Amino acid sequence: MRNSFIKTLLEQADRDERIFLLCGDLGYSVLEPFAQRFPDRFLNVGIAEQNMVGLATGLALEGYTVFCYSIGNFPTLRAMEQIRYDVCYHEANVKIIAVGGGYAYGPLSTSHHTTEELGMLRTIPGMVVTAPGDPSEVDAMTAFIAQHKGPCYMRLNKAGEPRLHAQPPALALGAIVPVREVEGARHAVFATGDMVGYAARFLAERGLAVDLFSFPFVNPIDGAQLKRLAARYAGITTLEEHQANGGFGSAVLERLHDLLSDGHLASLPAVKRIAIPNTFIGTAGTQDYLRDTMHLQLDGWAATLS
């Protein structure tokens, strides 16, 4: 995903001289092409993520579209106050890019886990919160947020994820992207981030008559699309690599209940959330190992369908 991000950012920067990239002393072997092509629009600020966000806001207020790139929790949880007061309060055109969301840096243990930021960021007014599901969605989302005026966040996995779409999907704000649709399906999985790829492999391997939709936008979520899907399925399962409190599944439930209370839905489908059970994990291990440990799996859910 990170390679798709920098490739598309280079394309955008070729066309838009306002794009500026900051990094927190990482991205080696990934960010060099940007630094070499646009040395006047690249700055390594060092291990100082809070300062990076403040600097980004200043550049944005001078007319730049500023991307801040760092590892998972560092440009988010560490800099949450600066994101709230500097970026979002001033509606600054700053894009926070976190590589290694969820348990991607699992071997480095809890200090490098990024499992609360979606919930925290989506509560801040004006912040667009995104978690693309594959490299094609990263291509589309990078182009989208480069052109979108205002604060944005994008969560990336690390590298090596397979492409689920032949072409980058067209994205409008809040769009829901179909990944797998089976004739007659009465159940659907809604997933975000790299869990989309896991769900696609799981459903294909087991041949289940279950549809799959990627939610590259966690905030906002398009109400018209969600309304159509809610009316179409008897059961929906949300899947995310994030704490259950306040995350993607919570966002879906909130939006569904708003649609119901506003009279846009006659009834609600049954919704099951699969997420991290609101606890820290002090174990170090691979991303897959930690996902299994925290029960981020569809096996038990799939058994209930038969």
CA-based nearest residue to 22, from 47, 101, 77, 63: 47
Instruction: Please report the pLDDT score of residue 295 as a whole number.
Output: 94
Look-up of token digits 């995104």 = 130
Say whether pLDDT at 60 is over 90.
Answer: yes
Answer with the residue of higher pLDDT: 52 or 72.
52
> Do 177-303 and 2-156 fall under one CATH topology?
yes
CATH number for the region 2-156 comes to 3.40.50.970
Say whether pLDDT at 306 is over 70.
Answer: no
Number of alpha carbons in the 13 Å side-chain half-sphere of residue 150: 12
CA distance 62 to 54: 13
Q: Per-residue pLDDT tens for 135-170?
A: 999 999 999 999 999 999 999 998 788 899 989 999
For residue 69, what pLDDT band results from cuts at 50, 70 and 90?
Answer: very high
Give 126's contacts (C-beta < 8 A, 6+ positions apart): 88, 91, 150, 151
For residue 300, what pLDDT band results from cuts at 50, 70 and 90?
Answer: confident
Q: Per-residue pLDDT tens for 235-251?
A: 999 999 999 999 999 99
CATH number for the region 177-303 comes to 3.40.50.920
CA-based nearest residue to 256, from 267, 243, 245, 247: 267
Domain boundaries, the chain: 2-156, 177-303
Instruction: Say if CB 66 and CB 60 are below 8 A apart.
Output: yes
18 CB burial (10 A radius; 0-12, 13-18, 19+): middle
Instruction: Say if CB 98 and CB 114 are below 8 A apart.
Output: yes
Q: Per-residue pLDDT tens for 171-218?
A: 999 999 999 999 999 999 999 999 999 999 999 999 999 999 999 999
For residue 2, what pLDDT band results from cuts at 50, 70 and 90?
Answer: confident
- Residues of the chain with pLDDT > 70, as a percent, come to 100
- Residues of the chain with pLDDT > 90, as a percent, come to 88
Say whether pLDDT at 16 is over 80.
Answer: yes
Q: Per-residue pLDDT tens for 257-285?
A: 999 999 999 999 999 999 999 999 988 99
Instruction: Say if CB 240 and CB 155 are below 8 A apart.
Output: no
For 66-118, give the DSSP string: EEEEEETTTTTTTTHHHIIIIIITTT--EEEEEES-BTTTGGG-GGG-B-SHH
Look-up of token digits 């990239």 = 21
Average pLDDT, the chain: 95
Instruction: Please report the pLDDT score of residue 305 as a whole number.
Output: 82
Instruction: Please report the pLDDT score of residue 226 as a whole number.
Output: 98
Instruction: Please report the pLDDT score of residue 109 as a whole number.
Output: 86
CA distances (Å), origin 86, targets 93, 118, 134, 174: 11, 19, 30, 24
For residue 304, what pLDDT band results from cuts at 50, 70 and 90?
Answer: confident
- pTM, 2 dp: 0.96
Instruction: Please report the pLDDT score of residue 303 as a whole number.
Output: 85
Give 87's contacts (C-beta < 8 A, 6+ positions apart): 53, 56, 57, 60, 94, 96, 127, 151
CA-based nearest residue to 130, from 213, 192, 199: 192
